[in-house]
């Protein structure tokens, strides 16, 4: 009886080992499948990172004429002779929403640089943001053509334009420190 019990235990142990091996193979196959799904999900992000990240430094900023939030036509030429921090924002962008309160402080504290914001999004939503945040700087209504001309692939994105209208610096920013750094580095 002891030998048959030992044989039964060995058979059960072998069965458990075989089941564990099958489970490992299944786990390995599932991990490979998940890896392929993750890589496929990352492809759009990789494509985004290969898109242009704005115009080249030192190039002239493209001309534009856009309506402001009150319907008046505003041109880049209206800011000739001034340093301009030109921001591209969206009322639907979470990073932009966090930046809205900071923009007012930047506009009032930063001497020698004019803040101008181009909003990309529905006019009703932009109007709501302007009213809620009490924005005190020019707010322009952008469009897809403007985004393409400035090669803006995401928001928030900023250009520092020098007094002659050339791009002195560019980049994303979502804090007051980032905005100040964009200006500081661009003025060197």
Question: Which pLDDT does position 48 carry in this prediction?
Answer: 47
Return d(Cα 94, Cα 156) in angstroms, integer. 9
Q: Which residues pair with 140 in a beta bridge?
A: 68, 118
Question: Percent helix, strand, coil in the chain (nearest 5)?
Answer: 50, 20, 30
Residue 21 lies in a domain: yes
Mean per-residue pLDDT for 50-55?
A: 67
pLDDT at 42 over 60: yes
Section 101-123 average pLDDT: 91
Q: What is the pTM of this model?
A: 0.71
Instruction: Classify residue 59: in a domain, yes or no.
Output: no
Is 102 found in the same domain as 21?
Answer: no
Q: Give the pLDDT confidence score for residue 47 in this predicted structure.
A: 47
Percent of the chain with pLDDT over 70: 94
CATH of the domain at 80: 3.40.30.10
Please state the domain count of the chain: 2
Q: Do 164 and 123 share a structural domain?
A: yes
Residues of the domain holding 26:
1-50
Tens of pLDDT along 133-157?
Answer: 888 899 999 988 999 999 998 899 9
Of the pLDDT bands very low, low, confident and very high (cuts 50, 70, 90), residue 52 is: very low
- In this structure, the answer to whether residues 112 and 31 fall within a common structural domain is no
For residue 30, the SS3 value is helix
Q: For all residues of the chain together, what is the average pLDDT? A: 88
């Amino acid at each position: 009886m002891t030998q048959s019990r030992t044989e039964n235990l060995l058979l059960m142990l072998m069965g458990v080992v075989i089941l564990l091996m099958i489970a490992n193979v299944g786990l390995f196959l599932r991990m490979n499948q998940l890896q392929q799904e993750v890589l496929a999900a990352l492809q759009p992000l990789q494509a985004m990172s290969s898109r242009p990240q704005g115009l080249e430094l030192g190039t002239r900023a493209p001309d534009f004429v856009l309506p402001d939030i009150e319907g008046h036509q505003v041109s880049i030429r209206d800011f000739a002779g001034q340093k301009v921090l030109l921001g591209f924002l969206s009322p639907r962008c979470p990073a932009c929403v966090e930046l809205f309160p900071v923009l007012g402080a930047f506009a009032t504290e930063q001497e020698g640089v004019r803040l101008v914001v181009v909003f990309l999004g529905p006019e009703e939503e932009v109007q709501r943001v302007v009213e809620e945040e009490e924005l005190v700087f020019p707010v322009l209504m952008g469009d897809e053509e403007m985004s393409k001309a400035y090669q803006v692939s995401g928001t928030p994105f900023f250009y520092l334009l020098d007094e002659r209208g050339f791009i002195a610096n560019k980049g994303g920013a979502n804090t007051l420190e980032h905005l100040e750094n964009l200006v500081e580095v661009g003025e060197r």
